[in-house]
Every structure is written in structure tokens, then in C-alpha cells.
Amino acid sequence: MVCCPYNAVMTFVNDTHNPALKSFVDSANTGTTDFPIQNLPFAVFRRAGSKEDFRCGVAIGDQVLDLTALGKMHLLSGDAAQAVQACSESSLNRFMALGAASWSALRASLSRLLSIDSPHEGVLRGCLVPQADVEYDLPARIGDYTDFYASVHHATNVGKLFRPDQPLLPNYKWVPIGYHGRASSVGVSGQALKRPVGQVCGAGQTVPVLQASRRLDFELEMGIFVGNGNALGSRVSIDEAPSHLFGMCLLNDWSARDIQGWEYQPLGPFLSKNFGTTISPWIVTNEALAPFRKPFVRDAADPQPLPYLTSDNNSAQGSLNVSLELLIETQAMRDTGTVPHSLSRGNYNDAAYWTPQQLIAHHTVNGCNLQPGDLLGTGTLSGPTADSLGSLLEITEGGKKAVTLHNGQTRTFLEDGDTIIMRAHCESDAAVRIGFGECRGVILAVEL
């Protein structure tokens, strides 16, 4: 199956990435859609407003292929047949647990079934639901959520604000820093969150007050879904990590900076973060991302990663070329029908100091068991330039420099009614563009 005339390094690239492939679903062939036949991301959906069961689906153009309906057609065989049956549920966990060979078998079958040459176009059209008509649930039951801190630019920018004397702590360049977040408050795009209330202790104050956060922020991150897990007491090596990595999505780690500033020492963020985390509905699989891999390069002046965080494969293709965009839509923009304001544009490869493989290898080095459906956040993906920052804390330099939006409104932190929109896509000369869809969430007013 290895056939990579367009990049000999990418041993994972196979027939499903062939740029010449077209689908019988015309909207998948535009060249600008997020969901061409080369992508085939997974989500959990049902018809909007219906009482239908949520079920697993795959995006193709502007449609969702209903995998439960497909499973009833008995068009697949072998591993792919077992895989599609595992998708006949209201979450992807059982499919995730089957492992990389099964994910790959189903992807190969779906690629053939949805191709322009498909012998089953007629029956498959009966399994399509327009994306415009669906609503989404979380793609997996998330048992545990860990948030990392993988952008050195973000860590330095935030460190300057919280600890001007020592922005980057000495462990940063050795250890992929993370904390255990809260899974119960992770929601899917479209999430509406009340502004959090918490303890705040202002500068120069010694007694905190309970109030609604006045420094409410977001963090532009990517989410990493763990596929098959590892037993407690075992490790996932850095070379094994790609086969445990099901796929990636967009993630907004909403953050109340005033609550965070008072509570974060000595044990890290708590109530400033766990009131809500929003992810995009579609998981772009690790296999779909293969054509967009980039070398992992550690600056020669920095400490090189310890051996358990180093491998030839990770050095050759551990990073990813993912373009990121962050937008804000205020209530006034919605009232006047104006487009959202673009706050920043960056790239995963410019932002991330650690690769997904390194995060998985590090998470399990002590024997910690990851489980199917576990979610890892990359940390805020701020790039090295002022136009590629992933939080208002950084964009406004801690609230000191308000940002002016295209309609004349200004923001230091979020106001009620503000919607944050995240988008991402991958492009290269040798592959068809694929995208992640959208991660959208809105802040609602709260009463004390």
C-alpha cells in the first residue's frame, strides 16, 4: 500500500491520500472544502432538533455519511466490517479501542465506497445527511482530559506577565508541562458558557472577593484523541505513540485570568479553567494528517530531548503543518450582520515545542494508563509573531493594550455575547487541502 510518489519520507501515505481521488459527492471535489475524500474525519451526530439517537458519521463534502446506516448495508468485509459495526454506537470509543489497523481498514474502504467510481453510489446516497441539517455531540466519552503547555512562545509570553523576573521556568525545555483538566465540562462546538464566578484578589489587595470574572479569555489549542490505550504500569514508547493517536481536533481552553492569577500557585489552574472547554465536532484522523507532517526541529542552542522523547521517526515527521485561524464575533456584529473579526493566524509547526508523539510518550513514561477517548490539549498555540497569538492575555499584553475590532469595538477580555471561532486547515503542494471544520463557543452573562 505504500505508494508515495509525492513524498518518499511519508511512509504512512497510501492510496487514500492520492490527490487525484474524487468523490461522487460533488461538494467534496471543490478544492476548498474542509472535507474532501482525502480527509474522512469522524464525528457523532443526529438530525438537528430530532429525538434520533446520536451516531457516528464521516464527513464528505457538505454531507455526513451515517455509519450506522452503512453498517446495515453489509458492503464491507474483514477488519473494515468489524470497524463499521463498532461505529454503530453513540460514541467513537469502541472504534478507537480497535487500534490503528482497524482505523486504516475502514478508511481505505470508505475511500473506495465514496469515490467517483463507487459501484454502490445509489445505496450510499441513502446514507448521506446534509451537514446543514445535523447537530453534533462529543465524538467520544472523554474519561480523562490533560492539558499541556506545548508552545514555548505562549509559555514565555504568559510567564512575563505572571513572573516578570523569571518568564520561562527552568524545567520547561526538558519536561512537556501539563495538568489534569476536567472532562465533564468539555463540550462540542456551539457550547454556550456562563461567565464563571470565582475568588479574585486584585493587585495590592490582601483579601479576595467573589465576583464574576472580568478577565475572561480563550486559548487556541488543538485536541489530541487517544485511540487504543495502554495498561496501567506500561509505557507507550515514542515510536509506538502514532499507533495510539486516533486524531486531532480544535480546542478552546476558556480561561478566567483573574481567578487563575489568585489560585494557580502552588498546584496550577483549577476553577479558572474547569468551567468549560469547547472542541470541534470532527476528529481528523492521524492517517489523514500524514501528508502534512513536518520534521521536528529542536533549536541547537536548547537542551535536546531526553532519549525517551527522541526518535528518528519523530525527528523526520513529528510535527505538522496546520494553519490556524482565530476569530471573534460580538453581539453587535451579529445584530448588524457583519462578519467576524480575525484576531490571529498561525501554524501548529511554528508554535509547538513538543510533538503529539512526545506528549503521549511523556504522559505514559511513569506507567499512567491512557484510555480510548482520552483527550490531550496541546496548550495555547501561539506563534513567534504578534499576529499569531492564541489568547487575549497575550494579544492585549495582560489587558494593557485593547485590541480594536473592524467595527470599531474594542476588547481587552471577553464580554457577554462574544463568540470565539477557531478554524484550521492543512495545505501542501503534494496533497489535497483538508480542514478541521469549526470550533465555536459563546459567553453568556451570569448573575452572582
Please say whether the beta carbons of 81 and 95 come within 8 A: no
Q: Name the one range near Ca ion by CB under 5 A: 18-26, 73-81, 252-260, 403-411.
A: 252-260
253 lines the binding site for Ca ion (CB under 5 A): yes
Smallest distance, Ca ion to C-beta of residue 294, A: 23
Q: Quick one: 264 or 308, whose CB is closer to Ca ion?
A: 264
* CA atoms within a 13 Å half-sphere pointing along the CA-CB vector of 271: 14
Task: Find, among 279, 258, 239, the residue nearest to 373 by Cα.
Answer: 279
| Residue 81: count of CB within 10 angstroms of its CB | 16
Smallest distance, Ca ion to C-beta of residue 221, A: 6
219 lines the binding site for Ca ion (CB under 5 A): yes
Q: Name the one range near Ca ion by CB under 5 A: 16-24, 123-131, 213-221, 417-425.
A: 213-221
- The beta strand positions in 51-206, using DSSP E, are 55-60, 63-66, 128-130, 134-137, 145-148, 178-180, 186-188, 191-194, 197-200
Place of cell 451515517: 66
Please say whether the beta carbons of 424 and 436 come within 8 A: yes
Q: Name the one range near Ca ion by CB under 5 A: 49-57, 144-152, 277-285, 418-426.
A: 144-152
Cell of 163: 513572573
Supply the DSSP string of 248-316, one letter for each residue: EEEEEE-EEHHHHHHH-TTT--STTTTT-EEE-S-BEETTTTGGGEE-----TTSPPPPGGG--HHHHH
Smallest distance, Ca ion to C-beta of residue 147, A: 5
Place of cell 502514532: 242
Binding residues for Ca ion, total number by CB under 5 A:
3
Cell of 197: 464566578
Place of cell 492510496: 15
Smallest distance, Ca ion to C-beta of residue 424, A: 16
147 lines the binding site for Ca ion (CB under 5 A): yes
Supply the DSSP string of 207-218, one letter for each residue: S-EEEE-SSEE-
Smallest distance, Ca ion to C-beta of residue 8, A: 37
Q: Return all residues near 172 (Cβ < 8 A) that are at least 6 apart.
A: 149, 152, 155
Q: Annotated catalytic, 406?
A: no
Q: Quick one: 253 or 374, whose CB is closer to Ca ion?
A: 253
| Catalytic residue selected from 154, 244, 362, 425 | 154
Pattern 404-433, Ca ion, x by CB under 5 A: ------------------------------
What is the footprint of Ca ion within residues 290-349 (CB under 5 A)?
none
Q: What is the distance between the alpha carbons of residues 361 and 358, in angstroms, rounded to a whole number?
A: 5
Q: What phi and psi, each to the nearest 5 degrees, are found at residue 9?
A: -75, -30
Q: Name the one range near Ca ion by CB under 5 A: 85-93, 251-259, 304-312, 416-424.
A: 251-259
Q: Name the one range near Ca ion by CB under 5 A: 48-56, 65-73, 147-155, 321-329.
A: 147-155
Q: Quick one: 147 or 287, whose CB is closer to Ca ion?
A: 147
Q: Quick one: 274 or 338, whose CB is closer to Ca ion?
A: 274
Amino acid at 394: E
Q: Quick one: 144 or 253, whose CB is closer to Ca ion?
A: 253
Q: Quick one: 34 or 374, whose CB is closer to Ca ion?
A: 374
Smallest distance, Ca ion to C-beta of residue 376, A: 11
What is the set of active-site residues?
Answer: 154
Interface residue list for Ca ion (CB under 5 A)? 147, 219, 253
